[in-house]
Structure 1
Amino acid sequence: MTNRPWFNSLLSKEQRSCIIAEFGWKVGAPPPPLHDHSDAKLRLIAEYLERYFPAILVSRGQTRQRITLVDGFCGGGKFTRDGAYTKGTPFLFLEAVENAERQANVGRSKKLTIDAEFHFVDSNQHHIDFLRNELIQAGYSAKLDQSIFLHCSEFEQIFPDICRRIEVRTRGYVGRSIFLLDQKGYTDVTFETVRQILRFSAAECILTFAVGWLIDYLSNKPEVLQRVAPVELSADQIKEFLRLKGEWGGRYSVQRLLLRHISQATGAEFQSPFFLRSQEARKDLWLVHLSKHLKARNVMVDSHWIINNQSLHQGHGGLEMLGFDPNIDQGGAPDFWFGANDQTKMKERLAEDFMRRIHDQHRHAPISYSRFLTSIANETPARLTDLDNVTSLLVEEKELDLRNEHNSAKRSSRPGQRDSIAIAREPRLWSFGKT
């Protein structure tokens, strides 16, 4: 639980008790219970890590991959659920690296070594002691203070030291790193810190953001500006959010504007913000993945589809997340649970949105397919394969014209990164294509 008095004052007695009970570890005592939204979060992170390493370890001639994995609010690394023990994120990190190295070396003539350094941070000494004890029992004692580092500290205080470690291990800010920042509210990690993380060219940040708490406790009181300083909201933004809150569909409007603000303020080119609904705290939590690479975003989005019905996107699945206009769409949006029915509706909506977007913004000249993907990726819960499939369908239906890098019509309807797309001269269904 955070030691910020003003944040604690925003929570009810029941909420504070819930947080203390859920996130308390002490040597000699049983670990805390794992609730549903936290279980979904662990499953999502495990799926993400399982897909992350195959995505980066693509060269058969590679012999070493350096990476730094940081858990900024690590806890004790162990939970109880349904009468059994469940591993927390520190062990998910450790085991993901071990599994990835073992799988990557299958069939290799030259052995690949994943040179990983781990930093586990928690401000509670009891939590760190519990985690150290668990690591020793699990056989990691030789790696403690060598490649596994435990820090009893507020994350913001130890962050500069961790950055220096990454800089020493890499050159020119090109090292790979994953920062998991599972904060309990929305102010324990400043947006300035996220910007510093993303200075590293191959860095990724997974940030928990208590969007429900932030929206509920916004007010025009003078102290609110100080409270939201870490997320860099201005007085004018707060004024606009409060105005929207009072209108029909206003909460949805504020969420969309906050999402846009996070993207702009952190400098993340790509993001995947989806809800993990907490029944215990009865507040909406965003799990936001921030990076500078489209491929990295796709790994996280794919993970959300794997744990469908656990994470939530609000919308139809088309091009709407950052393209949302609060002055037009005030009615909210349906819940999207990454299921089979959601996928079918998403593809139908994407086909319509693709044609409209290309007509409105690119009708005078073909656009590079890779550039088009980059421009829309943040606006939809679709995977890259979904976007390829929709494009291919529109090409087959003679709605889109697909050309290769030499500007020749392709025999295949499958788009490639070097291809270009444009509205067909004689589209069958989309009359605006003829205007």
Structure 2
Amino acid sequence: MEVRGDTPIAKFGWKLGAPPPSLHDHSDAKLRLIAQYLESYFPAILVNPAQNRQRITLVDGFCGGGKFTREGEYVRGTPFLFLEAVEKAERQANIDRTKKLSIDAEYHFVDSRKDTLEFLRNELVEAGYLAKIDQSIFLHHSNFEDVFPEICRRIEDRTRGSVGRSIFLLDQKGYTDVAFETVRKILRFKAAECILTFAVGWLIDYLSKKPEVLQRVAPVELAPEQIREYLHLRGDWGGRYAIQRLLLRHISQATGADFQSPFFLRSKEARKDLWLVHLSRHLKARNVMVDSHWLINNTSLHQGHGGLEMLGFDPTIDQSGAPDFWFGANDHAVMRDRLAEDFLKRIHDQHQEARVPYEGFLRSIANETPARLSDLDSVTSLLVEEKELDLRNEHDAAKRTSTPGRRDTIAIARQPKLWSFGKT
């Protein structure tokens, strides 16, 4: 990967008659995460045994040619990950079903390069999808922003009540090809999710007080005072990490996403960091993505102890070097202890002795932790059993079990056993 100005530019391309480009490590990690996410996504939404149809629109805004080479073998690109995930989900959903389920999926594959789309079309035809092209599979030779309104209209026509169940994969090369205004429009659909690549390393290095910088970063809606703050932090020890945390918060606020989970990727070729950020309006959707992080057990750029922190990936880390967080068994044990400590401190600092709705507490911390909902429930249960937390049901009655429910409330116990632990 090379850099033109402030933006990473891919050296490879797709052309009929030529071999597909080779796949870099960070792109391979990205594909594995997306594949795992799609495999987990459909079982999470297809839970009603009486359901016989599920509409969904799958959009790949920077689709590429659909095939790579890696170590002498062919690797499927994201268009085929979408197609095969739907086919597999439909087969699995219909196992032991009396009432058969059909997934009514529509696909939009967008790329600005004509040669790339011709390559993809040829791959689709050879894979047996010719009859679906221009019926449920649509190839758009266009910039994503230009074709986006048309795709939105089709989603609106296919759904009711602005539900718009859809997944937008926006694997941009930099950080300005997709405006945050566009992501806001995506998330206006109640059941839409967006997976956005963001070249954070390039952005941090590019920032300056020059007027042209403010114009360049207009699509990501950074204000002059934010840029000044980032520039001040950039010169401090640990400043890049602080800027990343502020940028993650900005992405959530600017796009209107209630929940986000970042997947940190490091390009060995450019020696800079990228993010694959999942954005949604639903806690359950965010949980599916975080669960995917654990299932692929990635090499991580995570800086912290696994408590109320963030996520990451770095292909250059030697496993024997033990990075801060690996989404492995040992990390899970450490995370559980630190989350228990963080839970008590957060509740004490923000609520004192007041009772807190459990679901509201989960929503308030979800973006800060690599934990799944099952992990958060487990930590809460542990604290209840240890008499650190008081758990009550929706009628304010003490529960016989330590397992929390979404309608329950929690509070610091009146006589905690290990309160010094909670204040550490």
| TM-score for the superposition, normalised by structure 2 | 0.94
- Contact 2:61–2:171 under 8 Å retained in 1: yes
> Which 4+ runs in 1 deviate beyond 3 A?
431-434
Task: Indicate the residue corresponding to 1:306 in structure 2.
Answer: 295
Residue aligned with 2:11, SS:
helix
Q: In structure 1, give the amino acid aligned to 2:56.
A: I
Deviations 1:113-155 (Å, cap 9, x if unpaired)? Answer: 0000000000000000000000000000000000000001000
Task: Indicate the residue corresponding to 1:365 in structure 2.
Answer: 354
Task: Indicate the residue corresponding to 2:241 in structure 1.
Answer: 252
Q: In structure 1, give the amino acid aligned to 2:157.
A: V
Q: Which moved more, 1:415-424 or 1:53-62?
A: 415-424
Task: Indicate the residue corresponding to 2:179 in structure 1.
Answer: 190
**C-alpha distance in 2, partners of 1:282/1:126?**
29
**C-alpha distance in 2, partners of 1:196/1:311?**
31
Task: Indicate the residue corresponding to 2:85 in structure 1.
Answer: 96
**C-alpha deviation, 1:181, in angstroms:** 0.3
Q: In structure 2, give the amino acid aligned to 1:316.
A: H
The answer to whether residue 49 in structure 2 is matched with residue 60 in structure 1 is yes
Select the residue among 242, 249, 271 that pairs with 2:260: 271
Q: In structure 1, give the amino acid aligned to 2:124.
A: L
Q: In structure 1, give the amino acid aligned to 2:67.
A: K
Task: Indicate the residue corresponding to 2:331 in structure 1.
Answer: 342
**C-alpha distance in 2, partners of 1:276/1:321?**
13
**C-alpha deviation, 1:73, in angstroms:** 0.4
**C-alpha distance in 1, partners of 2:38/2:82?**
8
Structure 1 vs Structure 2 CA RMSD: 1.7
Deviations 1:343-393 (Å, cap 9, x if unpaired)? Answer: 222111111110011111122321111111011101111111110111011
**C-alpha distance in 2, partners of 1:383/1:120?**
31
The answer to whether residue 106 in structure 2 is matched with residue 131 in structure 1 is no
**C-alpha deviation, 1:426, in angstroms:** 0.6
Residue aligned with 1:313, SS:
coil
Structure 2 residue runs without a partner (length 5+): 312-322
Q: After TM superposition, list the pairs within 5 Å mapping 1:411-430 onto structure 2.
A: 411-430=400-419
**C-alpha deviation, 1:314, in angstroms:** 2.6
Task: Indicate the residue corresponding to 2:286 in structure 1.
Answer: 297
- Contact 2:300–2:324 under 8 Å retained in 1: no
Select the residue among 138, 156, 167 that pairs with 1:178: 167
**C-alpha deviation, 1:182, in angstroms:** 0.5
**C-alpha distance in 2, partners of 1:184/1:86?**
20
**C-alpha distance in 1, partners of 2:246/2:374?**
28
Task: Indicate the residue corresponding to 1:76 in structure 2.
Answer: 65
Select the residue among 149, 170, 173 that pairs with 2:138: 149
**C-alpha deviation, 1:433, in angstroms:** 8.2
Deviations 1:179-238 (Å, cap 9, x if unpaired)? Answer: 000011111100000000000000000000010000011111111001100100011110
**C-alpha deviation, 1:341, in angstroms:** 2.2
Q: In structure 1, give the amino acid aligned to 2:390.
A: D
Select the residue among 175, 192, 200 that pairs with 2:189: 200
Structure 1 residue runs without a partner (length 5+): 323-333
Deviations 1:307-343 (Å, cap 9, x if unpaired)? Answer: 2233543322212459xxxxxxxxxxx7422222222
- Contact 1:181–1:206 under 8 Å retained in 2: yes
**C-alpha distance in 1, partners of 2:90/2:162?**
24
| TM-score for the superposition, normalised by structure 1 | 0.92
The answer to whether residue 27 in structure 2 is matched with residue 38 in structure 1 is yes
Select the residue among 236, 244, 247 that pairs with 2:225: 236
Select the residue among 9, 15, 20 that pairs with 2:11: 20
**C-alpha distance in 2, partners of 1:36/1:130?**
23
Q: Which moved more, 1:239-248 or 1:336-345?
A: 336-345
**C-alpha deviation, 1:432, in angstroms:** 9.2
- Contact 1:121–1:154 under 8 Å retained in 2: yes
- Contact 1:40–1:311 under 8 Å retained in 2: no
Q: In structure 2, give the amino acid aligned to 1:403.
A: R
**C-alpha deviation, 1:280, in angstroms:** 1.7
- Contact 2:22–2:70 under 8 Å retained in 1: yes
Task: Indicate the residue corresponding to 1:122 in structure 2.
Answer: 111
Judged with a 3 Å threshold, the aligned counterparts in structure 2 of structure 1 residues 339 and 431 are, in CA distance, closer, same or farther, namely closer
Q: In structure 1, give the amino acid aligned to 2:11.
A: I
